[in-house]
Amino acid sequence: MSRFGPTSELTVESLTDQLRNTMSYSEDNGINANKPDFRELDLGSPVSTLLTRPGGFTATSTSSSSSGSVSSRTAAGLSSNIPRISDSNYNSHSGELSGSSVESSPKPTRNFKPAHGRSYSTGTHPVIYSGGGSVNSPAVNVFPTGNICPSGRILKPATTVRSTKTDVLGSGTANYGHGSIMRSGAASKPAATTDCGPANYSRGGEPMRRRGVDNSSDPEEMKKTGNENYKKGNFSEALRLYDKAIAISPGNAAYHYNRSAALMGLRRLAEAVRECEEAIRLDPGYTRAHHRLGSLFINLGQVENARKHLCFPGHQPEPIELLRLQTVEKHLSRCTDSRSVGDWRCTLREVDAAIASGADASPQLCACRAEALLKLHQLNDAYLALSNIPELESHTTYPSQLKVFGMHPEAYLFFVQAQIELSMGKFEKALAAIEKAGQIDCLNVEVSVMLNNMTLVGRARTNGNDLFISERYTEACSAYGEGLRLDPANSVLYCNRAACWFKLGQWERSVDDCNLALSIRPNYAKALLRRAASNIKLEKWAEAVRDYEILRKELPNDNEVAESLFHAQVALKKSRGEEVYNMKFGGDVELVSGLDQFRAAISSSSASVVQFKASSNLQCKQISSFLNTLCARYPSVNFLKVDVEESPTIAHAENIKIIPTFKIYRKGNRVKEMICPSPEVLESSVRHYSI
């Protein structure tokens, strides 16, 4: 008795039914309860032809060399794309930015060989699967492989054909559970990642997410795109993408590390510091984050914090960064020593060296530079240095133990600002700044002394102003003097006291106080005006002209300064014995049409500038508008114009061949001739002969 029943009663139809019943899978929880032993079948024999599907495809089964499994392939060139789980290194920082970013691997599809496929039967028609259904679903009525004899018996081969390659459990696929059979004798990892999830696990142990068609919610894709934007210099766009990646996966240290790089590109260093600190909090052993944070602290001039991260235990610091740290530290130490003894020239030299060595983003060092310039009476440079201090971000915080010259770092910035604002005469701003410094570091001695002095200086200034308005000039001088005793570098108080001396008729003392104010602020307009006025009272015309000329450059549109300069120049000419007649201040460019009129106009002792022009010439029209500007700017000069087409006699007498031509005359004599001059050359000549 065979397992299929008595042979005498066997027919092909009964055999087919019995085979179908014997080979069918149990659907109890997907377990193949009645799966026969396929090793009894002839796996090396050709397959008999099965029924044809109406679509024109023929389902065929192939031989398998794997024992204990059903081999299936895709029929008629169809392929099945089966996603596979990546086996990347779980501890790698995928996509970090440090010279080069880690790119995600390409995503190839896994294609089965053509003309091979799994064959399933439903009813009497075979069904060909090409990856569209679940591979784990139990098949019904699976036909065995092998030859069926006409008698209905299945031939059992004498020997089973087996592959010479060993079968090894590979890394598996998403739908096959733990593993799949792989050839060549050893388990091998996939050559590239597929679209079943992130290519790599990043630091932070984020769970793997399956990628769908839309990758907009995949943090790895956002990181990758952010890296590409970073390489192109699109730091704002890279930052936006890293932010989105962090919003989805906040525990990923590499995302915070990359975000710090984008912030550095945008020069938002304080935020970059916090991102590196967050990456280190998530992964304390993150070497590259430590190194970047150390480098950032060098830029910010915080050498102790920099050393802690560049030389953290178990890791060798980078030699270049270590040398940079040591150089900055050396200059900072010398700067501190020089400042403590009031050697401001040495302080300025050392702070410049520290900035050049790498601490170029330190607000405190920039403030120290401004303070040194102020103490060296270079107020304009100090004010410029103050305006160039890197702005503190609103959320910038400093460790409580961090000090700059014994002062809280933020308090020092307000301390320097208060000194410079006070020297510029901006008492309200100065007082507000020193009060902020006192609120931040109330125990610092320098801040406390400055706050007290500034309060007294402000009080002395207010008192002196009130006395000056009351015309009590002597008492006002004493009040301003009290303020100068507390703040000897205050240019405003010197200038105010000079005004009091001028009212009292003590012009020499007025000039002296103006000189002191100008030694602190070289282009202090009020001090220049008061010194020039005092010099005119002292009949020092050359000194007065010099001050007014400086003021004309500073205030080119001030008509009062221009008129004062004109009268000072006239007085200077008279003092030198020069003839002065027919000189008037200001006026428009005068049109001259007759030869006698022309000769009378250029006979003045002051300079006369004549433009020879033609109304039809475009270049003449363009330069004529500039001549009007010069007429207002240099009122002591006579400006004339001659139209050569309307006055050919003058043009012939002056031998005019090219227009526009400019000639400068003094006392009837030509002293300068210019053919088609540029505006710059023309003004330079006018300025030279205006004195």
H or E stretch covering 240: helix 235-248
- Pick from 20-29, 492-501, 631-640, 659-668 the range whose average pLDDT is largest: 492-501
Which among 385, 374, 388 is positioned nearest to 521, based on CA atoms? 374
pLDDT > 70? residue 235: yes
pLDDT > 70? residue 356: yes
Structure confidence at residue 206 as a pLDDT band (50, 70, 90): very low
In one letter, which amino acid is 312?
F
d(CA 619, CA 661) in angstroms, rounded, equals 11
Written as six digits, the tokens of 292 are: 């970047």
pLDDT digits (tens, 9 = 90+) for 600-612: 888 877 789 999 9
Name all contacts of 259-265 with Cβ < 8 Å and 24+ positions apart: 260/289, 260/292, 260/296, 261/97, 261/98, 261/230, 261/292, 262/226, 262/230, 262/235, 262/236, 262/238, 263/235, 263/239, 264/296, 265/230, 265/233, 265/235, 265/238
pLDDT at 563: 83
pLDDT at 396: 58
Distances (CA, A) of 273 to 8, 95, 297, 654: 89, 19, 8, 74
Which among 226, 232, 197 is positioned nearest to 211, based on CA atoms? 197
pLDDT at 193: 32
Residue linked to tokens 């794997």: 66
Structure confidence at residue 233 as a pLDDT band (50, 70, 90): very high
Q: What are 404's strand-pairing partners?
A: 407
Tell me which of 242-256, 393-407, 432-446 is least confident.
393-407
pLDDT > 50? residue 514: yes
d(CA 673, CA 620) in angstroms, rounded, equals 16
Q: What are 119's strand-pairing partners?
A: 128
Written as six digits, the tokens of 311 are: 């030389």
Can you tell me whether residue 605 is helix, strand or coil? coil
pLDDT at 661: 94
Which residues, including other chains, have CB under 8 Å from residue 353's CB and lie 6 or more apart?
331
User: Helix 445-469 crosses helix 427-440 at what angle (to 10 degrees)?
Assistant: 160
pLDDT > 90? residue 178: no
d(CA 327, CA 424) in angstroms, rounded, equals 35
pLDDT at 515: 96
d(CA 294, CA 170) in angstroms, rounded, equals 44
**Residue 669 backbone dihedrals phi, psi, to 5 degrees:** -105, 135
pLDDT digits (tens, 9 = 90+) for 108-164: 333 443 444 443 434 434 333 333 443 334 444 444 444 444 444 444 444 444 444
pLDDT > 60? residue 646: yes
pLDDT > 50? residue 528: yes
Chain-wide mean pLDDT for the chain? 74
pLDDT at 378: 87
pLDDT at 389: 84
**Residue 513 backbone dihedrals phi, psi, to 5 degrees:** -65, -35
pLDDT at 309: 92
Residue linked to tokens 């200001």: 586
pLDDT > 70? residue 308: yes
Can you tell me whether residue 219 is helix, strand or coil? helix
pLDDT at 393: 53
User: In this predicted model, which residue has the larger pLDDT, 69 or 675?
Assistant: 675
pLDDT at 586: 62
Structure confidence at residue 671 as a pLDDT band (50, 70, 90): very high
Written as six digits, the tokens of 551 are: 């003021």
d(CA 474, CA 490) in angstroms, rounded, equals 19
Structure confidence at residue 687 as a pLDDT band (50, 70, 90): confident
pLDDT at 215: 55
Tell me which of 14-23, 164-173, 434-443, 553-562 is least confident.
164-173
Tell me which of 11-20, 349-358, 396-405 is least confident.
11-20
- Per cent of the chain over pLDDT 90 is 44
User: In this predicted model, which residue has the larger pLDDT, 65 or 630?
Assistant: 630
Which residues, including other chains, have CB under 8 Å from residue 260's CB and lie 6 or more apart?
271, 272, 273, 275, 276, 279, 289, 292, 296
User: In this predicted model, which residue has the larger pLDDT, 181 or 581?
Assistant: 581
Structure confidence at residue 534 as a pLDDT band (50, 70, 90): very high
Residue linked to tokens 């970073």: 230
pLDDT digits (tens, 9 = 90+) for 588-599: 788 888 898 898
Tell me which of 37-51, 414-428, 474-488, 528-542 is least confident.
37-51
Structure confidence at residue 658 as a pLDDT band (50, 70, 90): very high
Written as six digits, the tokens of 625 are: 């508008």
Helices (H), 268-343: 269-282, 287-299, 303-310, 319-340
d(CA 608, CA 631) in angstroms, rounded, equals 11
d(CA 320, CA 339) in angstroms, rounded, equals 29
Is residue 62 within 8 Å of residue 71, measured between CB atoms?
A: yes
d(CA 269, CA 396) in angstroms, rounded, equals 10
d(CA 299, CA 311) in angstroms, rounded, equals 17
pLDDT > 70? residue 200: no
Structure confidence at residue 354 as a pLDDT band (50, 70, 90): very high
* Start-to-end CA span in the chain (Å): 138
CB atoms within 10 A of CB 199: 24
Distances (CA, A) of 411 to 215, 406, 444, 449: 48, 10, 9, 14
Residue linked to tokens 């769908």: 212
Q: Three-state secondary structure along 75-123? A: HHHCCCCCCCCCCCCCCCCCCCCECECCCCCCCCCCCCCCCCCCEEEEC
d(CA 559, CA 585) in angstroms, rounded, equals 11
pLDDT at 365: 93
Q: Strand 608-613 to strand 638-643: parallel, antiparallel, or no bridges (unpaired)?
A: parallel
Q: Strand 608-613 to strand 590-591: parallel, antiparallel, or no bridges (unpaired)?
A: unpaired
Which residues, including other chains, have CB under 8 Å from residue 323's CB and lie 6 or more apart?
none
What integer is the mean pLDDT of 207-222? 62
pLDDT > 80? residue 37: no
Which among 384, 390, 355, 349 is positioned nearest to 370, based on CA atoms? 384
